[in-house]
Amino acid sequence: MFPKIPIKTKLLVPMFIMTLLLLYIGSSVGYINYNKLESLKKLRGQILFANQITSLINSLQIERGLSCAFIFNEKSIFEQALLKQRKKTDFLLNKLKDKIKDPFVKIHINNLRKSINNYSITYNNVIKFYSYTISDLLDILINISKKSHIPIITQDIIAHNNFLFFKEYTGIERALGVVIFSQKNITKKQLIDFTGNLTLEKYSKNMFLKYATPSIKLLYLQNIYKQISSKILYMRNAILYKKLDSVNISPKYWLNTMTLFLNNLQSISKLIENKIKLDIQIKLNHFRNLFIFYTISIIFSIIAFILMIVAFFKLARNEQRLNNIMNKYIISSTTDTKGIIIDASEAFCKISGYSKKELIGKSHNIVRHPDMPNEIFKKLWHDISRGKNWSGKIKNRKKDGGFYWVYANIEPLFTNKGDIDSYIAIRLDITKSEILQLQYDEEAKKSLQKEKILQEQSRFAQMGEMMSMIAHQWRQPLNTISAACTILDIRANTNKTDQENILEISDKIKNLTQHLSKTIDDFRDFFKPTKEKKRFTYDELISSTLRIVEISLNNKNIKIIQDLQSKIYITTYFNELKQVLINLLKNAEDAIVDNKIKKPYIHIITKENKLIVSDNAGGIPQDIISKIFDPYFSTKELTGTGLGLYMSKTIVEEHCGGKLSVSNDKDGAVFTITL
């Protein structure tokens, strides 16, 4: 049934592949790991050098800020701090004198310091010189980042480089701010320089946050940036909006605030440096372990290779056993391109009732059931003959004339040239589920019929209520017409009639008959069946409904309170929804009468897509409120059918696609329709 692969092929192919893999691993893994180890060792040395560069940059940044402050303020304020910082810078320069290629850096710095001491240099030149020197040092760090080939380390180095640029532009901002707050004013050029520097600072910060790891980013945003950002923002705005005269900010306060922020940034820089060193050490250990691991793995692979040969023989036996199991329990068959059965499983024989000998060489139509439409098999052959799969439910006939249902998946098998050679079908027995589905469909039909009966019962019950309301509507006009006729009769017998009196009484009778005719139209429209949805507002629905029930309510002194806020249009079945509203109003009326409520009222409220009907009849007992929408459940023991609220909920939720709910407030029951 299933294509057989020779055992020798199954054994020789994996063995050959394993031999090649062992040779490849043995010759390449050692070389690759050795190169990675050496590369990481070099990178570790360069990172240590980069850490020294970073410390020098930080020292030069502090010296730059103090130098600008020194130029614009009294010597006594910043002189001692500047001299102390210069010693730190010289110490770091001496440590790097053999590694920095430019031998004149220290000479240039000493010359610059003399000019600063003599006040013979502008702050712009001070900032430029320090910034150029720092820029050269940053270029060294960028070149180091290019030598990393491990993504996680490269990412950290790039994040650190951008962070150092961010810190550098923050240092320039500190120097520019010292000058501006020392002058107590700002020139146009200074404003342009300050704004441009802020732009570069923001860009560098964003690039740092883009590449920084989540933990570093979180540390910066929560623990560093928030501590000082509001103060810096306040002082920046004083510069950007030229409000230096209105704020009392000394250059020393600016310098100290910015220095504190830069010191915090330096702590972040140290954390990133330590993380990079730790990652490099972890990777070094990792590659050492890998080298050892792969060496040991080769030895164990040879042992495993021998064990695998033994396992392959076991696998062959297990595969044969599996084929036997599949043949016994999987309903499958194979046919040629013309649909002639060339193989069939035991499970197929068992479910169909045919023996394998009876099936082989026969058309698959041997199990075709006459109930199956021809169109299904046309579609099946159309798909599989074009190389596509086909799946679907099929009803088959047994040898004894019985039937069974299967879910079949049929797909073509191809030759090496890509031509269709045969078709294989795998089937799942779904007879029980199909029988259950048929039973379910029957029950659904019965349920639908029951629903129709409930609707008819509800309709007849409501017709009775409508007849009662028609009687209420007609009683007063008929009494008036009768009285008018009596008056005409008396006046005719006593010869006291005149044309004016006759016309007056005639008009009155005509108006009353028109009212009766309009009442008939209202009730006829209510009972007129319609399958079309109508577009209307809640106001139209309530007005149409009250024309039917209002007289009955007025006769019982029930006050109708309307609070109609909704102006939206609704599209649904008007008469069915009208039936629901009548039922809610009549239920409220019955509850008020049964409970003998003094000053009774019914409150009708509309809000957006909600229609709310409430009363002051005392509410529904909590022990039955959850059952009032059940069919045949009624609180009216003698007169209720228990269908009104059940059908109302069915209409709102199944026909109109809305929701009908009930609750109690302090006065009575509250029914809410949401559409």
Q: What's 352's domain CATH number?
A: 3.30.450.20
C-alpha distances in angstroms, 27 versus 289, 298, 452, 654?
17, 11, 83, 74
* Residue 74, SS3 per DSSP: coil
The amino acid occupying position 472 is H
Residue 308 inside a domain? The answer is: no
Residue 299 inside a domain? The answer is: no
pLDDT of residue 654: 83
Query: If 0-12 CB within 10 Å is exposed, 13-18 middle and 19+ buried, where does residue 274 land?
Result: exposed
What is the rounded distance in angstroms from the CA atom of residue 666 to the CA atom of residue 668?
6
Q: Reading across the β-sheet that carries 403-414, which strands appear in turn? A: 341-344, 331-335, 420-429, 403-414, 390-397
What contacts 63, CB < 8 A, 6 or more positions away? 82, 85, 86, 89, 130
pLDDT of residue 625: 87
Among 378, 398, 429, give the residue marking a domain's end: 429
pLDDT of residue 675: 92
Residues 582 and 469 grouped into a single domain: yes
Residues 474 and 419 grouped into a single domain: no
Residues 41 and 150 grouped into a single domain: yes
What is the rounded distance in angstroms from the CA atom of residue 9 to the CA atom of residue 504?
116
Residues 459 and 418 grouped into a single domain: no
Asked whether 528 and 575 are in contact (CB, 8 A), the reply is yes
The three-state (H, E, C) secondary structure of 443-495, written as one string: HHHHHHHHHHHHHHHHHHHHHHHHHHHHHHHHHHHHHHHHHHHHHHHHHHHCC
Q: What mean pLDDT comes out for the span 581-598?
A: 88
What contacts 166, CB < 8 A, 6 or more positions away? 201, 204, 205, 207, 208, 265
What is the rounded distance in angstroms from the CA atom of residue 167 to the CA atom of residue 171?
6
pLDDT of residue 562: 94
Residue 597 inside a domain? The answer is: yes
Q: Which of 596 and 36 is assigned the larger pLDDT?
A: 596
What is the rounded distance in angstroms from the CA atom of residue 170 to the CA atom of residue 608?
56
For residue 373, what are the domain limits?
Answer: 329-429
Residues 573 and 637 grouped into a single domain: yes
Q: Is 641 a residue whose pLDDT tops 60?
A: no
Asked whether 420 and 412 are in contact (CB, 8 A), the reply is yes
Residue 305 inside a domain? The answer is: no
Confidence of residue 4 (pLDDT cuts 50, 70, 90): very low
Confidence of residue 154 (pLDDT cuts 50, 70, 90): confident
* Radius of gyration of the CA atoms of the chain, in A: 48
| Selection from 639, 635, 659 nearest residue 577 by Cα | 659
Residues 82 and 191 grouped into a single domain: yes
pLDDT of residue 1: 45
Q: What mean pLDDT comes out for the span 128-154?
A: 75
What is the rounded distance in angstroms from the CA atom of residue 530 to the CA atom of residue 342?
61
Residue 85 inside a domain? The answer is: yes
Question: In the chain, how many domains are there?
Answer: 3
What contacts 82, CB < 8 A, 6 or more positions away? 63, 66, 67, 69, 70
Helical (H) or strand (E) element with 420: strand 420-429
Residues 505 and 583 grouped into a single domain: yes
Instruction: Please state the pTM of the whole predicted model.
Output: 0.39
pLDDT of residue 76: 58
Q: Is 3 a residue whose pLDDT tops 50?
A: no
Asked whether 61 and 171 are in contact (CB, 8 A), the reply is yes
Q: What are phi and psi of 145, to 5 degrees?
A: -65, -25
β 403-414/420-429 pair status: antiparallel
| Selection from 525, 551, 558 nearest residue 469 by Cα | 551
* 410, β-bridge pairs: 390, 425
Asked whether 398 and 353 are in contact (CB, 8 A), the reply is yes
Give the DSSP per-residue string, 613-674.
EEESS----TTTGGGTTSTT--S-TTT--S-HHHHHHHIIIIISS-EEEEEE-SSSEEEEEE
Confidence of residue 615 (pLDDT cuts 50, 70, 90): very high
Residues 345 and 262 grouped into a single domain: no
The predicted-structure confidence for 382-424, as pLDDT tens digits, reads as follows 888 888 888 888 888 888 888 888 888 888 888 888 888 888 8
Instruction: Report the length, in residues, of the chain.
Output: 675
Q: What mean pLDDT comes out for the span 140-149?
A: 70
Residue 311 inside a domain? The answer is: no
Give the DSSP per-residue string, 512-574.
HHHHHHHHHHHHHHHHS---S-EEEEHHHHHHHHHHHHHHHHHHTTPEEEEEE----EEEE-H
What is the rounded distance in angstroms from the CA atom of residue 293 to the CA atom of residue 88?
47
Residue 435 inside a domain? The answer is: no
Residues 473 and 414 grouped into a single domain: no
Asked whether 50 and 141 are in contact (CB, 8 A), the reply is yes
Among 399, 429, 459, give the residue marking a domain's end: 429
What is the rounded distance in angstroms from the CA atom of residue 260 to the CA atom of residue 232?
11
pLDDT of residue 559: 92
> Which of 288-297, 330-339, 539-548, 574-583 has the weakest average pLDDT?
288-297
Residue 232 inside a domain? The answer is: yes
The predicted-structure confidence for 95-115, as pLDDT tens digits, reads as follows 877 766 655 566 778 778 888
Confidence of residue 129 (pLDDT cuts 50, 70, 90): confident
Q: Which of 443 and 294 is assigned the larger pLDDT?
A: 443
Residues 421 and 464 grouped into a single domain: no
The interaxial angle of helices 75-95 and 7-72, nearest 10 deg, is 140
Q: What's 573's domain CATH number?
A: 3.30.565.10
Residues 526 and 410 grouped into a single domain: no
Residues 647 and 608 grouped into a single domain: yes
pLDDT of residue 663: 92
β 601-607/610-615 pair status: antiparallel
